[in-house]
Copies of this chain bind each other. A is one copy, B any other.
Amino acid sequence: MDNFAAPLEELIDSFASLPSIGRKSAQRLAFHMLSMDDASAQKFIDSVTNARSKIHRCPVCCNLTDKDICSICSSPSRNKSTICVVENPKDVIAIEKTHEYNGVYHVLHGAISPLNDIGVEDICAKELILRLQDDSVKEIIMATNTTVEGEATAVYLSHLLKPIGVKVTRLAYGVPVGADLEYADEVTLVRAIEGRQEL
């Protein structure tokens, strides 16, 4: 008997198929799952089925929501003339936590990455272009990650969007607040010097 009983092995395989869960973690999770009381296990299963059935993409901004139109797009207090373009729903939460941005968002659900076979048609880019058909949008803020893929996506989309006549901006590059200059990498420092501002 080199393996656990079949249903337990299947449960371990299920967990091991999730991202960043190795075999040992999957075992630990499976044993935990077996030791749970019935109510907690049912709650776990319900949360999976519930989220999968209720969560969908907002037809306007492609962010994940359980409403017909997400709470940001449907809010009358948000400024619909500025769209902040991000890669993932997590980035929306990150920017919302600043409490400084009052515009709306567009979630691409990824970034262009030819090496991984992800082209512009695999991200929610055409939905963004559709939003520009009325003239109400004045500015697009590219807030994709500052990785190679995020940069490429920002540059590619700006080339698509500028001919439409909308202002396209990019988040400022620079030294993070609270950082020691000696630990900043060269590229970041160069960008920070280039983008210096008068005091």
* CB <8 Å contact, A10 and B47: yes
Q: Which B residues are in CB contact (< 8 Å) with A103?
A: none
User: Which listed residue (B7, B48, B89) contacts A14, Cβ 8 A?
Assistant: B48
* CB <8 Å contact, B96 and A1: yes
User: Which listed residue (B2, B13, B30) contacts A93, Cβ 8 A?
Assistant: B2
A65: nearest residue on chain B (CB-CB)?
Answer: B5
Q: Is residue A147 within 8 Å, beta carbon to beta carbon, of the partner chain?
A: no
User: Which listed residue (B5, B31, B44) contacts A48, Cβ 8 A?
Assistant: B44
Residue of A1, A3, A18, A25 with most partner-chain B CB within 10 A: A1
Contact indicator per residue, chain A 39-50, by CB within 8 Å of chain B (1) or not (0): 011011101111
Q: Is residue A33 within 8 Å, beta carbon to beta carbon, of the partner chain?
A: yes
Kindly state the interface size class of chain A when it binds its partner.
35 or more
Q: Is residue A64 within 8 Å, beta carbon to beta carbon, of the partner chain?
A: yes
Indicate whether A33 sits within 8 Å of B51 (C-beta atoms), given known contacts A1-B72, A2-B93. yes
Q: Is residue A138 within 8 Å, beta carbon to beta carbon, of the partner chain?
A: no
User: Which listed residue (B18, B25, B28, B66) contacts A6, Cβ 8 A?
Assistant: B66
User: Which listed residue (B25, B34, B97) contacts A64, Cβ 8 A?
Assistant: B34
12 A-B pairs in the complex with CB atoms less than 8 angstroms apart: A1-B72, A1-B96, A2-B96, A4-B64, A5-B54, A8-B66, A10-B47, A10-B51, A13-B47, A18-B32, A31-B90, A45-B49
